[in-house]
Amino acid sequence: MFTKGGVSFLIFFLLFQCTLQSQTVLKGKVLDDNQNTLSHINILVYPHGQKKLIAFGISRADGSFEINLRSSADSLRLEASSVHYRNDSLFIVNVSQEVLFNLVPETKNLSEFVVRASPIEQRGDTISYLVSTFAREQDRSIADVLKQMPGIEVEPSGRILYQGEPIQHFYVEGLDLMGGRYGLVSNNMPHRSVATVQILENHQPIKILEDRLPSHRTSLNITLKREVTTTGTAQLGSGLTPLLWDANVTPMMFTRKFQLAGSYQANNTGNNAAKQLDMLTIENLRDRMENNLTRPSLLGIPLLSPPGFRENRYLDNNLHLANTNALIRLDNNLQMRSNLHFIYDFQKQQGNTRRIIYTPVDTLRFDEQINNDLRINALRGEFTLTRNTQGNYLNNKLEFQSHWDRRSGDFSSNTSALSQELCNPFQTISNRLNMIKPVGERLVQFNSFISYDYSPHSLSVSPGSFEEIFNQGDSFDQLTQNIDLQRLNTNHSAGFSFGLGNWSVSPKIGIQYQQQNLNSNIKTDINNTTEELTGFFQNNFESRYTHTYLQTEWNYRKSNRFTFTANIPVSNNYIILQDQEIARSQKINRIVFDPRLNIDYRIGNFWRTRFSYGLRNHFGEMDGMHYAWILTNHRSLLINDAPLQETRSHSFSAFLSNRNPIKSFFSSLSYVFFVRNSNLLFSNIINNDGSTLREAIEQPNTSYTHNVSAQTSKYLRSFKSTLALQGSYMRTTQEQWVNNETFDGINNVLTLSPKANIRFTQWLSGEARTEWLHYNTYRKSSKLDDVNVLKYFGNLLIFPARNQHFAINTEFYKHDKHNNSFVDLEYRYKITARRIDIDVRWINIFNHVTYHDYQLSPYSLMENQYTLRSTQLVVLVRFSL
């Protein structure tokens, strides 16, 4: 039985259900009073008499809207609301229908919504760039934390990159203590001492240029937590066998006026820590190239050229390195910096070589054993004074280096055994001044460079070699070559830059003067009588080179796509070479033009192409000129009594690349063609004992080099792997003169290298790479020799936990008949709470102690066998001071 109330409830319920299911569709348009359609008008739907929004619509670009709703309400209130028009309401019955709104403009004062004033200026405060927010538990040095900061990358060499480009300066509290060698600070300063890291993007370190020359380079400044910070790190390691050690203590002190960093490092584990002192900035490298600052190495003992793998497999060292760096801020604009380094290293080299020399009539084979001791002692110092103001810029760097190095070696072959001793000390002092001054409207940059160096080298070979020449074919006790080389080098220039529409132009004028004095003599010890040889065994050689130049760089850039650069240097070269004793001399006066052109063009998003052409005229190395004989090593006697070498090289290169990141498919192709004309050819007379007499002969000749290389890589998502393939081919054709016969020597090098990188699981990943190299050499059209090398590298990484890892590295080398394989194991455990790392390294676990490789030249093949470090186990502990 239903009660009356029950029935009405039921009816109500059914009706209610019914209304719920019925859908109302409201369509309509919103227009303004000029009948223009209005978009972005909110149409809000409320049940009549309620404030509860139940549906809404927003008018589209054509002013239309459509609202679907389900509501039990009998009637609805529609409200049109927006910022620019007065709100309008319509009351309608809840049935599908068309609705039209006509709105009246009324710009509402938007500020009525403002709840707080704009704090854009303060926004920086809300961003945390504090070091503490980026540091993770396992981080120790500031370099570790830098790696975490978006935009910053730290290379293995210690070089810091921001947005991929090397930073220009590394400041601590605005002071650049280390110059380019900042790796020492960044790798050793505990991040807990650092308050903030500031990236100075587009930073112009030279204040006078700030408003004139935008810089794209970035510098980095770190600010410290305390007024005076003393800090540092230490690393201690020990291992077997024999007894191994690896220690590194780096204390530092920083204040806002005075900064000091020192370090002492010692190891005999094959870790060449002297690399830490290498200059890390591009400027330093360029400088070294422009001013010919390389150490002279006229004399030498035969060394084993290092094998092409990790240094710590073969470097038998005993290194001690100490350095101090101090910087004082004298006033706001004047700073003085000093850097002092001392290096002692004792390295041993052991190995065998087999030389196969193809003379026109014969093939000569020599098996030789080399056993060398190298002692390196060096003291280097650098004093820099900098004034950096809005009005001018001055930087003066005074540098000295003193090396007193010795090398001694035992050398034995199937024909002879001898020992050699080389003293090759080197002293140099140089001064470099850079200045920027306003001259009229423009800023002119002046550079001055002066250096002097002194190399009194001596090489003694006992018993003496070249018996035919020095002792009528009979053996004798000792042969000694002494040289005394002094070089003066100055370079002064002035330049400025200006813009012309899309062009920027930088002219520069300068004069460079180099003078070298080479004195040498040869002494023989025959039956305890020392005799100094005269005539063509003594050099009293002087060379002077004056290079006056005007160079202009033109740079044109259109949007991002096209860049054209032309470098147009014109120079006058005046060279005098003379040897008064022998009464030989020559003079050269040449005006040369060495243009370089470069075009870079991007097509669409993925393609890029580049072309370049360069011409270069070069006047021979004066170090290499001498009118009398010099014994450069026990088996090489050299004379260079020819006109100065003049070469003219053309190089052409083309590059095409396609980078399609959407498909993860990257490819590139490049081609380089190089033609070199020379007025000299070197004649090599190879004696039956393998010694060589080398003479420069005036005979114009041309060499050609072609190089093609290509690479492609693809990421395969289904295998979680990257596959890559690289290949290259190089062909060099060069005229050779061996034992009075000239011929075209042709060298070919072909390489092919596939690679894969696979991530099997979260905790296991691996990499494999193979390199196949094929070398061959032809004399005219007959093949002399070929060499095949196969290299395989693989590693497997296991991550059992976040604070641990385990790595297995394998390397395999197959050089013709010789196979070498190496396996290393490494385990690291991090005690994160105490910021201590413990490494256990077992290197070369199968104890393979020899390694073979090959070098091929147009008339010889050299096979080297190295003695490597034997298996070793080292435990290393690292912690902060």
Partner 1 sequence: MKLIRTILKDLAFLFFVLLTSMPVYSNAQNHRGTKKTLDSVKLMCFYDLLFQPDSTDANSKITEEFLLLIGNNTAYSESTNSYLSRQSISETVASGNIEGFLSDLALGRIPRTRFNTQIYINYPIEKITVIDRIGMDLYSYTQNQNELNWIIHPEKREIKGYTVQKATTTYGGRNWTAWFAPEIPLNFGPHVFQGLPGLIIKVLDTKNHYEFSLRMITNPEIIESIDINTQNVISICKSGFFELRDRLKDNPHGVLMQSIQSSGGSFQFDDETSAQQTINENARRRNNPLELRAD
Which of the residues 157 through 216 are near partner 1 (CB under 8 A)?
A: 157, 161-166, 196, 198-204, 210-211, 214-216
DSSP string, 141-187: BHHHHHHHSTTEEE-TTS-EEETTEE-S-EEETTB--STT-THHHHT
Interacting positions 287-326 with partner 1 (CB under 8 A):
none
Select from 58, 95, 289, 881 the one that contacts partner 1 (CB under 8 A).
Answer: 58
Please say which residue, 450 or 724, places its beta carbon nearer to partner 1: 724
Stretch that binds partner 1, among 47-55, 404-412, 569-577, 737-745 (CB under 8 A): 47-55
Is position 802 an interface residue for partner 1 (rule: CB under 8 A)?
A: yes
Indicate the residue among 152 and 374 with the shorter CB distance to partner 1.
152
Residue bearing tokens 């002879």: 416
Window 574-603: residues binding partner 1 (CB under 8 A): 600, 602
Stretch that binds partner 1, among 88-96, 361-369, 432-440, 716-724 (CB under 8 A): 716-724
Q: Considering only 124-132, 338-346, 350-358, 640-648, which stretch makes contact with partner 1 by CB under 8 A?
A: 124-132
Task: State residue 19 phi and psi, 5-degree precision.
Answer: -65, -35
The answer to whether residues 751 and 773 touch, using CB atoms and an 8 Å cutoff, is yes
Element (H, E) at 470: helix 467-470
Residues 133-152 that bind partner 1 (CB under 8 A): 147, 149-152
Site residues (CB under 8 A) for partner 1, limited to 256-285 = none
Output the smallest distance, CB 82 to partner 1, in A. Answer: 5
Strand, coil or helix: 556: strand
Q: How far is the CB of 94 from partner 1 (least distance, A)?
A: 16
**806-835 binders of partner 1 (CB under 8 A):** 807, 826, 828
The one among 272, 765, 770, 810 contacting partner 1 by CB under 8 A: 765
Asked whether the beta carbons of 277 and 831 are under 8 A apart, the reply is no
Place of tokens 């070919």: 748
630 near partner 1, judged by CB under 8 A:
no
Nearer Cβ to partner 1 (53/417): 53
User: Closer to partner 1 at the Cβ: 685 or 796?
Assistant: 796
Cβ contacts of 306 within 8 Å, gap of 6 or more? 314
Spatial separation of the C-alpha atoms in residues 479 and 469, rounded to whole Å? 11
State the nearest-atom distance from the C-beta of 793 to partner 1, in Å: 11
Q: How far is the CB of 80 from partner 1 (least distance, A)?
A: 9
Among 10, 14, 20, 53, binds partner 1 (CB under 8 A): 53
Q: Is 768 in the site for partner 1 (CB under 8 A)?
A: no
- Interface mask toward partner 1 for 653-692; x: CB under 8 A: ----x-x-xx-x-xxx-x----------------------
163 vs 415, which CB is nearer to partner 1?
163
Q: 23-42: which residues touch partner 1 (CB under 8 A)?
A: 39-40, 42
Q: Which is nearer to partner 1, 8 or 50 (CB)?
A: 50
- Give Cα separations from 417 to 189, 301, 412, 413, 615 (angstroms): 52, 14, 4, 6, 47
In the complex with partner 1, the residue whose CB is nearer, 218 or 543, is 218
Written as six digits, the tokens of 447 are: 């550079």
Q: Give the one residue of 119, 306, 391, 438 binding partner 1; rule: CB under 8 A.
A: 119
Cα–Cα distances in angstroms (integers) from residue 805 to residues 56, 627, 633, 800, 839, in the given order:
58, 62, 49, 6, 10
Nearer to partner 1, 454 or 829 (CB): 829
Distance in angstroms (rounded) separating the CA atoms of residues 648 and 615? 7
Token digits of residue 820: 């070498």
CA 71/CA 66 separation, integer angstroms: 16
Site for partner 1 in 609-628 (CB under 8 A): 610
Stretch that binds partner 1, among 373-381, 508-516, 735-743, 802-810 (CB under 8 A): 802-810
Give me the sheet containing 170-172, strands edge to edge: 170-172, 219-224, 194-200
* Token representation of residue 166: 């090397």
Considering only residues 769 to 798 of the shown chain, the ones binding partner 1 according to CB under 8 A are 795, 797
For the segment 718-737, give every residue that binds partner 1 (CB under 8 A).
Answer: 720-722, 724
State the minimum distance, in angstroms, from the CB of residue 434 to partner 1: 20
Segment contacting partner 1 by CB under 8 A, of 226-234, 293-301, 571-579, 710-718: 710-718
Q: How many residues bind partner 1 (CB under 8 A)?
A: 104
Give the DSSP letter of residue 858.
Answer: T
The 3-state DSSP composition of the chain as helix, strand, coil percent (nearest 5) reads 10, 65, 25
Nearest one of 212, 353, 337, 335 to 635, comparing CA atoms: 353
Pick out residues in 63-92 that bind partner 1 (CB under 8 A): 81-83, 87
- Helical spans, DSSP H, in 61-174: 123-126, 131-134, 142-148
Q: Which of 4, 116, 780, 834 binds partner 1 (CB under 8 A)?
A: 116
Between 277 and 622, CB nearer to partner 1: 277
Q: For partner 1, which stretch binds (CB under 8 A), given 177-185, 714-722, 779-787, 844-852?
A: 714-722
Touching partner 1, residues 828-867 (CB under 8 A): 828
- Whether the upstream peptide bond of residue 229 has omega within 30° of 0, thus cis, is no
Answer for which of 27, 31, 60, 641 binds partner 1 (CB under 8 A) is 60
- Pick between residue 492 and residue 602 the one whose CB is nearest to partner 1: 602
Distance CA 878, CA 139 (A): 12
C-beta atoms surrounding 810 within 10 Å: 14
SS (H, E, C) 653-719: EEEEEEEECCCCEEEEEEEEEEEEEEEEEEEEEECCCCCEEEEEEEEEEEEEEEEEEEEEEEEEHHH
Distance CA 781, CA 745 (A): 9
